Amino acid sequence: MIRVTRTYRFSASHRLHTPARSAAENRELYGKCNNPFGHGHNYEVAVSVRGPLDPRTARAVDIAALDRLVRQQVLEPFEHRNLNTEVAAFGAAVPTSENLGREIVRRLAQNWSAAFPENGPVLEKVSIAETARNTFEVSAHEDE
């Protein structure tokens, strides 16, 4: 098995806020990230896949197919968006980087079979860096 990790970037804004909590609780829980006007990040997303080498191409993943899938399911829907108001998945979930990573995994996994053959590469994990100090890793497998 070969593991391939491909990195992508997009910019988006969000506000960490839970409507079920008071303004004071939200400020205490999320600090400066609870700014009513939101704030932005230049996210770096690393998508890791694993698979056997294709004897015909000597590659574990078709990079162009992966790029298309990530562009359609991640970059286009999230680029320069307010995650709270412009991405339906965050209508009910706080757009933390943990939840953003989970949503990216969900979108990729849901559309994986349309992009890759049955015996092709498998989505392994998504890592998302929101700052130089904060990186979040989400396994594509429920049991990990």
Per-residue pLDDT, 101: 97
Q: How many CB atoms sit inside 10 A of residue 133's CB?
A: 6
Active-site annotation holds for 39: no
Which residue's structure tokens are 């391939």? 4
The pLDDT-based confidence of 143 (bands split at 50, 70, 90) is low
Q: What is the mean pLDDT of the chain?
A: 94
User: What are 4's strand-pairing partners?
Assistant: 49
**Among 108, 135, 138, which residue's Cα sits nearest to residue 123?**
108
The amino acid that residue 115 corresponds to is: A
The pLDDT-based confidence of 45 (bands split at 50, 70, 90) is very high
Q: In this predicted model, what pLDDT tens digit does every residue of 61-117 receive, in sequence order?
A: 999 999 999 999 999 999 999 999 999 999 989 999 999 999 999 999 999 999 998
Q: Which residues contact 38 (CB under 8 A, 6 or more apart)?
A: 13, 14, 15, 82, 84
Catalytic residue among 14, 41, 103, 130: 130
Per-residue pLDDT, 119: 83
pLDDT > 60? residue 144: no
Active-site annotation holds for 80: yes
Query: Which ranges in 18-140 belong to alpha helices (H)?
Result: 23-30, 63-70, 76-78, 83-86, 97-115
Which residue's structure tokens are 């559309």? 111
Q: In this predicted model, what pLDDT tens digit does every residue of 30-41 receive, in sequence order?
A: 999 999 999 999
Per-residue pLDDT, 15: 95
The CA-CA-CA angle for residues 114, 76, 122, to 5°, reads 35
CATH superfamily of this structure's domain 2-139: 6-pyruvoyl tetrahydropterin synthase/QueD (3.30.479.10)
Catalytic residue among 33, 44, 98, 137: 33
CA distance 13 to 6: 23
Catalytic residue among 79, 80, 86, 141: 80
pTM of the predicted model over 0.85: yes
pLDDT > 80? residue 121: yes
Q: Where are the domains of the chain?
A: 2-139
Active-site annotation holds for 130: yes
The amino acid that residue 135 corresponds to is: T
The pLDDT-based confidence of 12 (bands split at 50, 70, 90) is very high
